[in-house]
Chain A
Amino acid sequence: MEIKYTIQGLLIYAAIGAYVLAFVTSLLRRGKAGHVLYIFGFIIAVFAFGYRWYHVGHVPLQNLFEVFLCLGMICYPVSLFCQRILRVGGRCVDMLIGAIVLFPAGFIFSAQPQQLPPALQSWLFAPHVAVYTLSYILMAKATFQALSQLTGKSYDGDEKLLQPEQATYRMICAGFPMLTLGLVLGSWWGKLAWGDYWGWDPKELWSLASWLVYVGYFHFRYMFGKKHARINSTWAIAGMVVIVITLLWANLSKLFSGLHSYAT
C-alpha cells in the first residue's frame, strides 16, 4: 500500500472519489447528478493521465501504474460509446469499474518515473498497449453483463438497451478485435525487437490463453446460440479471469519471469 502525496496522487484520488460518488449517487436514483459526477471524474482522470505524460515525456503506458491510470481514464468514453452506439447499458457499474481500476494506480503501484528501455522505443509500443487496454475495459464490461445475466439482476430499466446475454456477446464482439490486434501487434514488435515473433514468454502464453477463451466462447455460442445462456456467461467471466492473470499475475509473480518483466 503506497499513498501518493503528490499532484499525481491527488488527481488519482480525486478521480476515484468522483467515480465512487457517481456510483453511489446513481444507486440512489439520482441519475443526472451521477452522470455529472462521472464526467467530472473522467475530466480529472484525463488531467492525471496528461500530467503523467508531461512528467515522463513519453506515452504513459510503460508499466502497470500507467496502464491502470489509462484504464481509469477510458472508462467514461467506453461507457458512453456502449450506451449510445452498442445499446449496452451498465453505466452505473462502469463508474465502479473506473474506481476499481484506478485503485491500484493510487494505492498499489509505484509512480516512480522510468526512462524507456531500448526495446520500448518503438512506434508499436503505444498502439500495442493501447489496444490491449481498450480491449480489457470492453471485456470487463462484458463480464459485468455476464454477471448480470447469471444473477438475473439488470441495473438498467431502459428497454432500448440489450438484454444481458446479448449485451455480453456484443461487448465481446467489440473487444475481441482489439484483443486480436494487441496479440498480433505484440508479435510483430517482438520480431523487430527480440528477433522472434513468438518467444514463448509467460506473458505471451497467458495472452494467447485469454484470446483462446474468447475463441472458445464464439465457437460455443455458434454451436448452441442462447440455448445455454448461463454457460455463455460463465465463459465470458472465465475470459476476464484469464485477462486479470495476464495483466497482473504474469507481470508481478516471480513464477513468470520473462521478456515482459520490465512492465511491472
Chain B
Amino acid sequence: MDIDKGLKNRIRRFAMWTTMVLIALLFCLSVYGAFLGPKRAKEFFNSIPLAVFWLLYIIILIAGIGLFRRLLRVPALLLIHAGCIFILAGALWSSTGGHELRQKLLGIDKIRTGQMVIYEGDLENLVALENNQQAKLPFSVKLKDFRIEYYKPEYLWVQSREGQSWKIPVETGGEFSLGADFGTVKILKVFENFKITIDGDKRRAIDDSGPGSNPAIEVEIKSPDGIVDTRYVFERFPGHSYPEDRLLLSYHRIISDYISELEIIKDGKVLAKKDIEVNHPLHFGGYHFYQSSYDAEAGQYTVLEVVSDSGLSLVYGGYLMLCIGVLWHLWLRHIFTGIKLKSE
C-alpha cells in the first residue's frame, strides 16, 4: 500500500516536472518562432517533430487529469485542463497535416486553405492551393459585385515649398483659402475613372463609366494676383509637379472597407448569398470565405481566402472551457465565498 503511495507520488512529481519542462520548452519555441516571422514560424510549428510535441502536450494533460485528483474534484481546474486538450486536439485536427492524414486514412478530400480569384459576374469553383496546385469546390461561388469604400471626406493635401501644409476636404465646388500669400484652391470635379478623350483637336477630361479605376480631382488654383491655374491631381500617380509650381498637391483616400457580393450556386440554384467584408466572412459547406485581396488596378476582381472549418468547434469549445475555468477558479469562487461569508 505504502509502496503504491510512494510510487504514485513519484509519478506525480515526475508529471509535474515534465509539465514544467514542456511549459518552458513551449515558451522557448514561441520566442524562437517570433524571430522566424509568420510564414516560417507556421511551417516550423506545423512540422512533424512539433506535431509530436503537441501530442506529448495532450498526453501530459490527460495524464495530469488522471494523476491529480484535485483536477477532477475541482470543476474549474478540470475545465482549464480539458479546455487546453480540446484546443490542441482541434488545432491538430484543423492543421494541414490533419487534413492530409484524414485524406489518406479516411479518404476525406477537403481543402485546408487556398485562394479564389473571381471576376465580377463570373462563377468560379477552382481554388489555388498553397502547393501551386488547384482543387475544385463541390459548388460554385459567384461574384456579383466588388466595391471599395472610402472614409469621407477624402482629402487634398497642399504643401508649399516653404513647408506650410493644408488638408482640404474634397467636395465639388468647395473653395479653400490658403492665406494672402497663396490665394485659393477650388475643387472643380472629382473623377472615379479619369480619362482623356480627343474631340476634334480638343482634349477633354471625362469620368469614364467603363471598366477601370483612375481616381483624380480637377483643382483650380487662384493666386493672389488673380492668375488661375487648373490642375489634375491623381491618387495613383503622385508627384506631377513642375519646379516653378509654388504648391505641391496630392490626393489621398483612406479605405474603410472592401466588399464582395457573393452567391453560392449549385445546379443553377442559389444556396446562399452574403456581402462579405473584412471581419464578416461567408460560411458555407464546411468552408469560410474571406475577403483577402482585390484588383488594385481596375477593381474588376476579388481574391477570396478559402479556409476549411474542420476542428474549429473543438478549438472554440476549448477556448470557452479555458475561459470559464480560469474565471471561475481565479475570480468567481472568491467572489461567491466573499458573498457567502458576508451573509453569514
Contacts and interface: CB of A to CB of B under 8 A. Distances in A.
* Chains A and B bind each other: yes
A24 B243 CA distance: 58
Most chain A C-beta atoms within 10 Å of own C-beta, residue among B24, B257, B305, B330? B330
Contacts of B65: none
Contacts of B27: 209, 212-213, 216
Contacts of B281: 192, 195
Given A115-B151, A195-B307, A200 B45 contact: yes
Chain B interface size band reads: 35 or more
Interface in B54-71: none
B30 interface: yes
Interface stretch (A41-49, A59-67, A146-154, A172-180): A172-180
A200 B326 contact: no
B184 interface: no
A188 interface: yes
Nearest to B288: A195
A108 interface: no
B277 interface: yes
A15 interface: no
Contacts of B258: 118
B168 interface: no
Chain A interface size band reads: 35 or more
Contacts of B319: 184, 187-188
B255 A209 contact: no
A118 B278 contact: yes
Label chain A's interface by main secondary structure. helix
Given A181-B323, A195-B288, A209 B31 contact: yes
Given A213-B27, A216-B23, A200 B279 contact: no
Interface in A101-119: 115-119
Interface stretch (A3-11, A88-96, A251-259): A251-259
A220 interface: yes
Contact of A119 (B45, B254, B278, B307): B278
Contact of B20 (A122, A216, A255): A216
B16 interface: yes
A205 interface: yes
Interface in B250-272: 254-258
Given A192-B280, A202-B34, A216 B24 contact: yes
B41 interface: yes
Given A195-B281, A215-B23, A219-B23, A206 B31 contact: yes
A28 interface: no
A73 B338 CA distance: 28
B315 interface: yes
Contacts of A40: none
A78 interface: no
Label chain B's interface by main secondary structure. helix
B280 A177 contact: no
Given A180-B322, A195-B307, A212-B23, A115 B254 contact: yes
A181 B331 CA distance: 13
Most chain A C-beta atoms within 10 Å of own C-beta, residue among B24, B26, B30, B91? B30
A197 B34 contact: no
B322 A121 contact: no
A198 B91 contact: yes
A193 interface: yes
Contact of A219 (B19, B292, B316): B19
A202 B37 contact: yes
Given A115-B254, A118-B278, A206-B30, A258 B38 contact: yes
A126 B45 CA distance: 30
Given A177-B330, A219-B20, A118 B256 contact: yes
A201 to B, nearest CB: 5
B31 A205 contact: yes
Most chain A C-beta atoms within 10 Å of own C-beta, residue among B23, B277, B281, B316? B23
A257 B37 CA distance: 7
A202 B151 CA distance: 30
Interface in B6-52: 16, 19-20, 23-24, 26-27, 30-31, 33-35, 37-38, 41-42, 45
B338 to A, nearest CB: 9
A121 B38 contact: no
B327 A121 contact: no
Contact of B38 (A193, A200, A208, A213): A200
22 contacts: A119-B279, A121-B256, A121-B278, A177-B326, A177-B330, A180-B322, A181-B323, A192-B279, A193-B279, A195-B281, A195-B290, A195-B305, A197-B315, A202-B33, A202-B35, A202-B37, A205-B30, A205-B33, A216-B27, A256-B34, A258-B37, A259-B38
Given A187-B319, A200-B42, 17 more contacts: A115-B254, A119-B279, A121-B256, A173-B331, A177-B326, A177-B327, A195-B281, A195-B288, A202-B34, A202-B41, A206-B31, A209-B34, A213-B27, A219-B20, A220-B20, A256-B35, A257-B37
In the A-B complex, the 3 residue pairs with the closest CB atoms: A118-B278, A200-B41, A205-B34
